[in-house]
Structures are given as C-alpha cells and as structure tokens.
Amino acid sequence: MSNYPLLNAFLTMLWFFLWVLWFMLLFRVIHDVFSDDGLSGWAKAGWTVFVCILPFLGVLAYLVARGRGMGERSMRRAQAQEQAFRSYVREAAPSGPAAGTSKADELAQLAGLHDHGDITDAEYEAAKAKVLVS
C-alpha cells in the first residue's frame, strides 16, 4: 500500500503547476521589460533589480503599473513581424506576369508539383484553370 494519499498527489501537482506558472510569468515580465523600446536604460535596470530582489512584489507592481501595455506591445511586435514577413515574401517570390514567367512556365511548374505528389488532382485542375483563364 502507498503512504502517499491521492490528495497529497493532487496538491503536489497543484504546487508544481503554480511553480511553473510563476516562472512563466516572471520570464514574461523580464522579456517585456527588455523588449519595450519606450523604457530608458535606467528604467529597465530599475525594473529588473526590483523584480530580481523582490520577485513577488516586483512582478505584482509591474503588472499593476504596466500590465495593460504588455498585451498592446506584444500585439504591435507580432503585427510588425507579420508585416516584415509578408514584405519579404512579396520581394523574394514574385509571381505572375510581373515575375517574367509565361503561362507555359506556370503550367510546367504545376505539372511538376502534381507529378511529384505535392498537390492533388483537384488542386492541379483548379490551378491549371486559373492559369489558363488569367
């Protein structure tokens, strides 16, 4: 028989989960401090020292003082990365007549994809019809 009751196992898992959650929150706050371009170097140093010396109070104070901006800054960074990615794709892989490809070249590429098994018969026929119509 076991000397570790089910309730103790549950409480151990709960404490472990809270411990992991705490570290995720701590690292999220530290990441936000260093990725915020609006903070000066002294402000970043101050928040970092506060969070490292008094972690619970520091994280709580940071969330109260700057918590709303964390999501907004994260959203702006994600949008900027998405825009940069889309811009890179547009520059790196132009398509259509602007790329200097003819319909025959596009059909040859489609046939190669179809023969290689990268696209299905239905996708091939739909793409072929789109190339021939344009």
The token pair at 8 is 């103790």
> Residue 73 corresponds to which tokens in the numbers above?
């800054």
pTM reported for the whole predicted model: 0.58
Check: CB of residue 51 under 8 Å from CB of residue 30.
yes
Question: pLDDT (tens digit, 9 = 90+) per residue, 39-73?
Answer: 999 999 999 999 999 999 999 999 999 988 898 99
Percent of the chain with pLDDT over 70: 93
98 has a pLDDT exceeding 70: no
User: How is the chain split into domains, by residue range?
Assistant: 1-93, 96-134
How large is the average pLDDT for residues 25-45? 93
